[in-house]
Amino acid sequence: MKKYIFLFVLILVSSGCEKYLEEDYLSGENSESIVKSEETFETLINSAYVSLRAWYGKENAWDLTESGTDIYTWGLDNRSVGFCTYETFTTDEEQERMAAIWRELYKALNTCNIILSRIDEVPYSSEARRDERRAEVQFLRAHYLWMIVNIWGGVHFTTEPSTMATRTANRTDVSTFYDQIFADLNAAKEVLPDEQAPADYGRATKAAAEALLARAHLYNKDYQEAATYALNVINNYNFQLLDDWSQIWDINNIKNPEIVWAVNYSDDPVYTKAQFTDVNGDIYNTAGIIQREGGHTGHVMYEIRYENLSWGLVRDLENGRGFQRW
């Protein structure tokens, strides 16, 4: 009798496992289907721009760049433990904000690597459009590599797409990063347009590629090349300084002739990532997770904390919701 019960249970468990292992793939998109049409592949290219919002106009970017220079002469309430833990061998949880930037930049790099490895398989309506999109992603890859090498130095480098989690990093010479950055930007600038159509505002341009070449050569101590590219951007495009410095901060002056290249933001949650998540999938509004990365929050970091004034004003959106980090 025990033998029959055992066989019955074994059959039941086996059939149960088979049932639950059946996958109902609802989206229908995967690495193979996305290259079958220009329309679907364009969505992948657009996604390569998304991680720029994790950096520009963000507290984390300033913490990792300008806050360590003589640009800032005063520190206020920026008490970011995630950037101020200096013990050796700290874990991701102890350096959560740094780890989140690491993950975001390498995710963006991998997206670019995937696109560049598959773009020739896509049935584009014209080769000119394919070449321009390729150049955009070459620009973006150079940009992400430049950010990585300037934050961490000669860390993990790859131009190959990853299809699974990578647990092993390699130490790479800084020169390897810059060789790839220059190769990508030099290729991109030969194809990218001088400016994009209004509907494509924010996509990479030739001027943006040359401006990044100037910056990359400067950081690599190639001073003559840096000056050449910088002067070319200044003199041979339609950029100019605004007459009134205060116009830079006008919320209605989003597009102006000072801007060489812009990162687009949206107040539509469909197009704007709400937050970063940490390695466990938690959002920042719980303790210890990277903060508010959906929109451009930079302007609030310099507003006075007027609720602390003696007459006790209320902190609200209308008056800037100041954070006063620096």
What are the structure tokens assigned to 246, written together? 């205060």
As a whole number of angstroms, the distance between CA 290 and CA 225 comes to 37
pLDDT score of 264: 86
As a whole number of angstroms, the distance between CA 131 and CA 3 comes to 68
As a whole number of angstroms, the distance between CA 37 and CA 34 comes to 7
pLDDT score of 267: 66
Ordered structural domains, the chain, with CATH: 29-190+265-295 (1.25.40.390), 192-262 (no CATH), 296-326 (no CATH)
- Phi, psi (5° rounding) for residue 253? -110, 50
pLDDT score of 246: 85
pTM: 0.81
pLDDT score of 265: 80
As a whole number of angstroms, the distance between CA 116 and CA 137 comes to 7
2's enclosing H/E stretch is helix 2-20
Q: Which of 225, 57, 41 minimizes the C-alpha distance to 120?
A: 41
Q: What is the pLDDT along the chain (326 residues), one digit of tens a residue?
A: 555 554 444 444 455 554 445 555 545 556 677 888 999 999 999 999 988 988 887 777 877 887 767 777 666 665 566 666 666 655 555 567 777 888 889 999 999 999 999 999 999 999 999 999 999 999 999 999 999 999 999 999 999 998 887 778 889 999 999 999 999 999 999 999 999 999 999 999 999 999 999 999 999 999 999 999 999 999 999 999 999 988 887 878 889 999 999 998 876 666 655 455 444 444 443 333 444 445 676 767 766 666 666 666 676 666 666 666 66
As a whole number of angstroms, the distance between CA 218 and CA 211 comes to 11
pLDDT score of 84: 62
pLDDT score of 326: 63
Q: Which of 107, 80, 77 minimizes the C-alpha distance to 96?
A: 80
